[in-house]
């Protein structure tokens, strides 16, 4: 079929070979989403070239001259060919849903409608940069506690699996009666060593089953609903979701997309099924004529202060600016909470780790103390 098509176009075909791992390519594993950093760089260059007055095809040609060969290069070449064939930039980008986020394509559509594509690209780039900054702050706050927990877990595992059995062998050779806590710990470590591989296998199986359940609709809902109920952390999770939602909504509305369409587009940025369902219920009410702030308040979607700010934005006709203010308000609160949590969790982990490791060591040395007391 392909050979015949090419020959009909006047090409001389030596051979047609299927791409290796074509099934992976077709399913999108080889063509996964363009990373935020790549997209930011691409947008910055595109913005400069469009502002300089270059047509979109020449702008893409200029960008392609700079980019090294790779996945993005192949995609942009195909985008350029689509535009040469008479399609708009947004229509060309829609051909690659796994490469470009839906919000990005929608922003380009809005820019083409308003006739100010550079402004739309600039807005979206600003949104991406702020999202990346927030993500880095969140990851940065969790890195050190994560390292502490990992080190503590490894240290305790080594003590239980290797150190305690060594002591137990020494005590067994001595033939002396052991204190009850020491005997319990030795019995536990013996049991742990005997069934260690079984426990590891069961752990992997449990994780696999949990992940299979977690991707189901019911599983996602249960997990996301319980995430928000966790003390301290749940409220931070909600604020992180709302920060992404309000910032994205401001970007989309600023691009000229109607409010209902904008709300439907940004639902996925919440990354929480419970919040998504609440939002969709609110969207239905907005479609019926209810104000956005009233609809969200009825669903208890946001804190009262944020709802009041949103209501003010609707009243004075500056919804976009107020959404940005709300996202910055949430972001400041989230940063403050993250700082407090990171400061509190580190010593807490150290204290727990010290108690556990210290308890194991003291328990294993109890027979030595007993012998020393007897000799004394």
Q: Please calculate the CA angle 45-49-50 and round it to the nearest 5 degrees.
A: 115
Q: What is the DSSP string of 226-242?
A: HHTTSTTHHHHHHHHHH
Distance CA 241, CA 261 (A): 19
**Residue 208 confidence (pLDDT):** 93
Highest mean pLDDT among 184-193, 222-231, 264-273 belongs to 222-231
| Segment 46-88, tens digit of pLDDT | 888 888 888 888 888 888 888 776 788 888 888 888 888 888 8
The more confident residue out of 254 and 225 is 225
* pLDDT band at residue 25 under the 50/70/90 scheme: very low
**Residue 4 confidence (pLDDT):** 53
The pLDDT of 296-321, averaged and rounded, is 90
* pLDDT band at residue 33 under the 50/70/90 scheme: low
The pair of structure tokens assigned to 71 is: 């996945």
Mean pLDDT of the chain: 81
Over 70: is that where the pLDDT of 171 sits?
yes
The pair of structure tokens assigned to 367 is: 């027979």
Over 70: is that where the pLDDT of 12 sits?
no
Query: Who contacts 281 (Cβ-Cβ below 8 Å, separation ≥6)?
Result: 299
Residue with tokens 């700079």: 66
**Residue 112 confidence (pLDDT):** 81
Percent of the chain whose predicted confidence (pLDDT) is above 90: 11
**Residue 32 confidence (pLDDT):** 53
Contact at 8 Å (CB) between 299 and 278? Answer: yes
Nearest alpha carbon to residue 181 among 359, 373, 358: 359
Percent of the chain whose predicted confidence (pLDDT) is above 70: 88
- List helix spans (H) across 85-195: 89-93, 102-114, 117-158, 164-174, 180-194
The pair of structure tokens assigned to 129 is: 């940069």
The pLDDT of 4-26, averaged and rounded, is 44
Nearest alpha carbon to residue 124 among 108, 135, 138: 108
**Residue 360 confidence (pLDDT):** 84
Distance CA 124, CA 111 (A): 11
Which domains, and CATH codes, for the chain? 20-100 (1.20.81.30), 130-376 (1.20.81.30)
Q: What dihedral angle (degrees, nearest 10) is formed by the CA atoms of 66, 68, 72, 74? A: 100
Report in angstroms the alpha-carbon separations of 244 from 136, 249, 254, 324, 371.
14, 8, 15, 10, 63
The more confident residue out of 114 and 296 is 296
- Residue 67, Ramachandran bin (φ over 0: left; ψ between -120 and 50: alpha; else beta): beta
* pLDDT band at residue 110 under the 50/70/90 scheme: confident
**Dihedral sign, CA of 127, 133, 136, 137?**
negative
Distance CA 39, CA 132 (A): 12
Contact at 8 Å (CB) between 108 and 90? Answer: yes
Residue with tokens 């535009």: 83
Residue with tokens 């192949």: 74
Task: Report the half-sphere exposure of 169 (CA within 13 A, side-chain side).
Answer: 6
């Amino acid at each position: 079929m392909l050979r015949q098509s090419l020959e009909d176009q006047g090409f001389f075909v030596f051979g047609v070979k299927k791409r290796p791992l074509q099934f992976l390519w077709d399913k999108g594993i080889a063509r996964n989403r363009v990373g935020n950093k790549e997209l930011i760089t691409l947008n910055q260059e595109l913005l400069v070239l469009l502002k300089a007055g270059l047509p979109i095809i020449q702008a893409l040609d200029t960008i392609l001259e700079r980019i090294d060969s790779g996945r993005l290069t192949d995609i942009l070449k195909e985008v350029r060919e689509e535009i040469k064939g008479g399609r708009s930039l947004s229509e060309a980008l829609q051909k690659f849903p796994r490469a470009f986020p839906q919000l990005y394509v929608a922003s380009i559509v809005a820019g083409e409608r308003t006739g100010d594509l550079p402004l739309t690209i600039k807005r979206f780039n600003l949104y991406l940069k702020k999202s990346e900054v927030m993500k880095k702050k969140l990851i940065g706050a969790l890195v050190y506690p994560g390292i502490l927990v990992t080190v503590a877990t490894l240290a305790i595992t080594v003590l239980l699996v290797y150190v305690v059995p060594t002591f137990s062998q020494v005590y067994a050779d001595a033939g002396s009666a052991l204190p009850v806590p020491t005997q319990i710990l030795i019995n536990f470590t013996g049991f742990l060593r005997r069934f260690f591989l079984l426990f590891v296998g069961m752990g992997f199986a449990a994780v696999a089953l949990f992940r299979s359940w977690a991707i189901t609709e019911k599983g996602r809902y249960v997990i996301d609903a319980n995430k928000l109920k966790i003390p301290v952390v749940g409220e931070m999770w909600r604020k992180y979701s709302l920060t992404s939602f309000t910032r994205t909504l401001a970007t989309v509305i600023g691009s000229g997309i109607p409010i209902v369409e904008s709300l439907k587009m940004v639902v996925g940025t919440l990354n929480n099924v419970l919040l998504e369902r609440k939002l969709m219920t609110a969207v239905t009410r907005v479609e019926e004529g209810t104000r956005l702030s009233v609809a969200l308040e009825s669903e208890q979607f946001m804190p009262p202060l944020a709802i009041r700010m949103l209501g003010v934005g609707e009243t004075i006709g500056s919804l976009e600016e107020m959404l940005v203010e709300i996202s910055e308000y949430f972001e400041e609160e989230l940063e403050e909470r993250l700082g407090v949590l990171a400061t509190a969790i580190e010593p807490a982990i150290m204290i727990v780790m010290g108690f556990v490791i210290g308890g194991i060591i003291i328990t294993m040395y109890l027979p030595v103390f007993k012998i020393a007391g007897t000799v004394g």
